[in-house]
Structure 1
Amino acid sequence: MILDRNLKWEVIVFYTWKSMLYYLLLSVAVYLIHGYYEVVQLHLPFSTLTALSTALAIFLGFKNSNAYDRWWEARQIWGQLVNSSRAWGRQVTTMIIPTDEQEAELVKKLQHRMVYRHLAFVHGLRVFLRKPKPYNGTKQEEIVEETNEYSDTVAFLSEEEYKAFWHKNNPPNYLINLQGDDLRRAYERGWLSDYRFVQLEQTLVAFNDIQGKSERIKNTPFPRQYSFFSRVFVFIHASLLPFVFVDEIGWASIPVSVIVSFVFLCLDLVGERMEDPFENRLEDVPLTQLSLAIETNLKEHWGDNNFPVSKNHKQGIML
């Protein structure tokens, strides 16, 4: 997630230079041919582009609005994970109560295991959502965070649990099932009353809901016809601009055409970069920072001062 108000121009150029080079070369070619070959008339009336520009602006506005809605929903889902995680840490340490002093140490170990296993769930869900999609014949996106592996969960699980965890088809869901098993055993031993058992189980259900909602956004892409046709329409619009301006303003048609094309290109890219918020890119929901915030909160609640530090933090960016 980008935090700076001003985007770095090297980032903008990275995503736009190929298209901008095409717009520039086309504008120069149209101007030269129109000016030096009188028999070739490349001019188009301004009304030709007016309707297309209006329709394209409306289309891009609709696309960007819906892309932002997907991004904001993803951020709200992970905000709920932060809140529910804090509640989980408090519930585990206050609701699981030993029946006598001899069991106090066992209860303490159980609480520690369940709190730290939840940290493994949070980091595991982050990695699960950011796992690469199968190659579809297009150029792969850049990866912002270099370490996006299940090894991030090793410190929070026992050796046996970790070996089973990362071999699962759905590792985060496996951890929730383990939490449910521990709750059941705690209930059977009398450490949980009926009411407290239900309360903790409801929190686990909330984690299931959060994971399910995240998976829905991850596995249901923004309708690709919007992305495809927006690129096509922006390309057509930019290709027609030099023909409209060349007879009206002469050589100035070159910078004007390039600038107007740049505006529509950026509008298209803004929506395209936000429509999939779990792809580990600059514009995505900052899952790493939210995961580390949860880890810090739960460790502080437990009394562990070994707080995490973001290894992949970049100035002006939350990963």
Structure 2
Amino acid sequence: MLIKYSDNPFKQIFGIAFYNRKNIFLFTIISIGATVQYKFGEIFTFDPFTLPVVPVTILGGALAIFLGFRNNSAYDRWWEARKVWGGIVNASRTFGVMICTFSSGHFSKGKVKDKKVEAWRIELIKRHIGWLYALIMHLRKHNHWDELEKYIEEDEIEELKKLHNKPTQILHKQGKRLQEAYEEKIIEDFRHMELANVIKEFYDLQGKAERIKGTIFPYYYNYFTGVFLWLFVICLPFALTTEMGWGAIPMSIAISFVFTILEKSGAVTEDPFEGRAADTPISTITRNIEIDLLEMIDEEVIPASIEPKTGRFGVKYLD
């Protein structure tokens, strides 16, 4: 998640120009070419190629509508992703509290020892942390098992590696362990149902995240937005030269840059789980949940919070 650009305005401008250098170069070439051929036409008395302003203005208006709709839709996906992970935070804390307070040897009338209850609590909370890292791995489509291996037993990891949807199977395992705890009278009937409802909520939240990840933005919006954008960029300087002369060069570059940045913003925002600066910071959110849950079971080694990263040109963001 992008926190802020550099405090240095020169770094801000240079960074923006650097990351958009190819487009700026193309805008400059097109604008100079359109203006030079118009000025040469005045000097050598031939008819230069120009376009009337009105059709280009209408095209720009249509493009603005396309970009506005696309960016709104992309932002909705980003905001829904943030709400999903906000729900995971709340449900995870609830799950941790329930695991620690609902379980007891009392229900078995002393047959289940406190050490076994404590081991069961630690197992389920650590497996839940593993589920969080497995979900990140699932959404980002990578195979980084390091964090997962800290919290799940080796034999269980080997089983997971053979399965398609790893976070789903971890939740399935959690459900089985809840059932076993109920049968052993570590938890009683009502508390078992409440914990099962939290597992169901995790399934729902995971499904929402998978829907965002798996729903491809309609191809024709991306395609035609790109077509209309570059048609507008090419036509614009041929319309402005008749009105502004040499001034058409900086003006057409500036207008083209604005429309291109709008298009780029929508393209980046529509897939919020990739780990880029503008995406939902699911690694940071997971680390905060991890800290909360480990403190609930009095773990001695607690990882530090993830600090904002500093990218090129002083950009600060959370992963």
In the superposition, the TM-score normalised over structure 2's length comes to 0.91
CA distance in 2, matches of 1:88, 1:166: 26
Distance in 2 separating the partners of 1:221 and 1:8: 32
For the pair 1:58 / 2:65, whether they are aligned, the reply is yes
The equivalent of 1:223 in structure 2 is 218
In structure 1, the residue matched to 2:237 is 242
2:20 aligned residue: 16
Aligned residues: 304
Structure-2 change in CA distance of 1:25 and 1:128 (3 Å): same
Q: Which amino acid aligns with 1:63?
A: R
Alignment partner, residue 76 of structure 1: 83
The aligned counterpart of 1:29 is 33
SS at match of 1:153: helix
CA distance in 1, matches of 2:18, 2:117: 55
Question: 1:219-242 CA deviation, whole Å, 9 max, x = no partner?
Answer: 111112111111111111111111
1:52-131 paired onto structure 2 within 5 Å: 52-98=59-105, 99=108, 100=110, 103-131=113-141
Between the aligned partners of 1:192 and 1:214, the Cα distance in structure 2 is 31
User: What residue in structure 1 maps to residue 261 of structure 2?
Assistant: 266
1:194 Cα offset (Å): 1.1
Instruction: Give yes or no for contact 2:287–2:306 (8 Å, CA) kept in 1.
Output: no
**1:102 deviation in Å?**
5.2
- 2:67 and 2:19 map into 1 onto residues whose CA distance is 18
Q: Is the 8 A contact 2:307 2:318 kept in 1?
A: no
CA distance in 2, matches of 1:128, 1:104: 36
* CA deviation after TM superposition for structure 1 residue 43, in Å: 2.1
Counterpart of 1:292 in structure 2 is: 287
Determine the C-alpha separation between the residues in 2 that align with 1:123 and 1:10.
36
Matched-pair contact (CA < 8 Å) for 1:86–1:297: yes
**Helix, strand or coil for the counterpart of 2:150?**
helix
Moved over 4 A (4+): 310-313
1:156 is paired with a residue whose SS is: coil
Counterpart amino acid of residue 3 in structure 1: I
Shift, 1:293, TM fit: 0.7
How many Å apart are 1:26 and its aligned residue?
Answer: 0.9
Residues 24-62 of structure 1: per-residue CA shift (max 9 Å, x gap):
001111111111133132222211212111111111111
Distance 2:53 2:104 in 1: 78
- Correspondence for 1:3: 3
Deviation at 1:151, TM superposition (A): 2.0
Report the RMSD for the aligned CA atoms in angstroms.
1.8
C-alpha distance in structure 2 between counterparts of 1:9 and 1:298, whole Å: 42
In the superposition, the TM-score normalised over structure 1's length comes to: 0.91
Kindly state the Cα deviation for residue 245 of structure 1 after the two structures are TM-superposed: 0.9
The answer to whether the Cα contact below 8 Å between 1:33 and 1:40 also exists between their aligned partners in 2 is no
Q: 2-side partners of 1:312 and 1:149: how far apart?
A: 20
Q: Secondary structure at the match of 1:217?
A: helix
The equivalent residue for 2:182 is 187
Moved more, 102-111 or 37-46: 37-46
Choose 223-232 or 202-211, whichever is displaced more. 223-232
Counterpart CA distance in 1 for 2:175 and 2:276 is: 34
Q: Deviations over 1:165-205 (max 9, x none)?
A: 23321111111111111111111111121111100000000
Task: Determine what percentage of the aligned residue pairs are the same residue.
Answer: 34
Deviation at 1:16, TM superposition (A): 2.1
Q: 1:234 to 1:15 in 2, by over 3 A?
A: farther
Verify: 1:204 aligned to 2:199, yes or no.
yes
